[in-house]
Structure 1
């Protein structure tokens, strides 16, 4: 029995041409953290000329698009490089290389992470009327770390996973097997 090699032309996290989980996670932290730090500075600068809510909304939208592009190109990309049919499936059209599906799904994971940190902070304030800054930051950063891990897993296993692992089809190669009569004559 011989297994036929599985040829999909695309990579899946865990395949030889896709970065491993550790490498992807380090890249995720570097690119996501870098965009987060830049966003923090951008909100502060924009809030000087725009209402804070509007500045935050603009920076959040731009930073989510930027982070999604960086994750598609570098965090979850295959060694053969992003492009149609390789890596996470960027379209290669225009300045944005991810499709709308990738951006919407990534935005959903960012919204879920925002909800986790918001709920954690609200829960803290429900239990403690005036928590200190250190406690509040500890709760926020802990929730942010958990949400980040969840977001990494969702992006790696769902958003940027272009193929699902399926068992390779089993083929039976009868040419290589000796005829039954040959087996009987060699055994005697």
Structure 2
């Protein structure tokens, strides 16, 4: 069985982090969907979706920092950068749906869902890469020079 972290950087291995990304992101998405079902009839859907999207993005970013990429808790800059990847994903999926609707004015539900799910999968892959390579990139360990016994004795 392959190690889940690389020895040099302590970063979670790519395949393992991708599986964790899918599980954490999918779990948070299911949770968000449930929250929308619970509040959808009491709050305007657009407002509920906005609040749920912000909340689920904050939760997913924290989970990704801690578990997906093994870097620890997410700071505010991580949350802001992750939010930007969500915005890019939203624009990408919306563009795909609008482009498909322009090319096929009366699409069936199956075709529309295929376009949406394909665009979402591509956006998710892009999001994973941005989070792994930029937002949660491993920090280079700073190593202090090792002082041998001679250096300690000489300093005394």
TM-score (norm. length: structure 1): 0.69
Matched, 1:138 2:114: yes
Offset, 1:99: 1.1
Paired residues, what number?
Answer: 137
Structure 2 residue runs without a partner (length 5+): 142-156
Mapped contact 1:31–1:67 kept (Cα < 8 A): yes
Q: CA RMSD in A?
A: 1.9
1:118-165 CA distance string (max 9 Å, x none): 100001110111100000000000000000000000000000014369
Give 1:178's aligned residue: none
Partner deviation per Cα, 1:50-95 (whole Å, 9 max, x = no partner): 0001100010000000000000110000xxxxxxxxx3xx4xxxxx
CA distance in structure 2 between the partners assigned to 1:14 and 1:27 by the alignment: 19
Q: 1:97-116 counterparts in 2 under 5 A? A: 97-116=73-92
- Higher CA-based Rg: 1
**Greater percentage in helix:** 2
Kindly indicate whether the alpha-carbon contact (under 8 Å) linking 1:68 and 1:106 is maintained by their aligned counterparts in 2. yes
Q: Is the 8 A contact 1:116 1:147 kept in 2?
A: yes
Q: TM-score, normalised by structure 2?
A: 0.82
Give unpaired runs (5+ residues) of structure 1. Answer: 1-11, 78-86, 91-96, 166-188
From the superposition, tell whether residues 57 and 13 of structure 1 become closer, same or farther in structure 2 (CA, over 3 Å): farther
Is 1:59 aligned to 2:35, yes or no? no
Q: Of the candidates 42, 45, 52, which is equivalent to residue 49 of structure 1?
A: 42
Residues 14 and 122 of structure 1: CA distance in aligned 2, closer, same or farther (over 3 Å) = farther
Q: Cα distance 1:118–1:33, how it changes in 2: closer, same or farther (>3 A)?
A: same
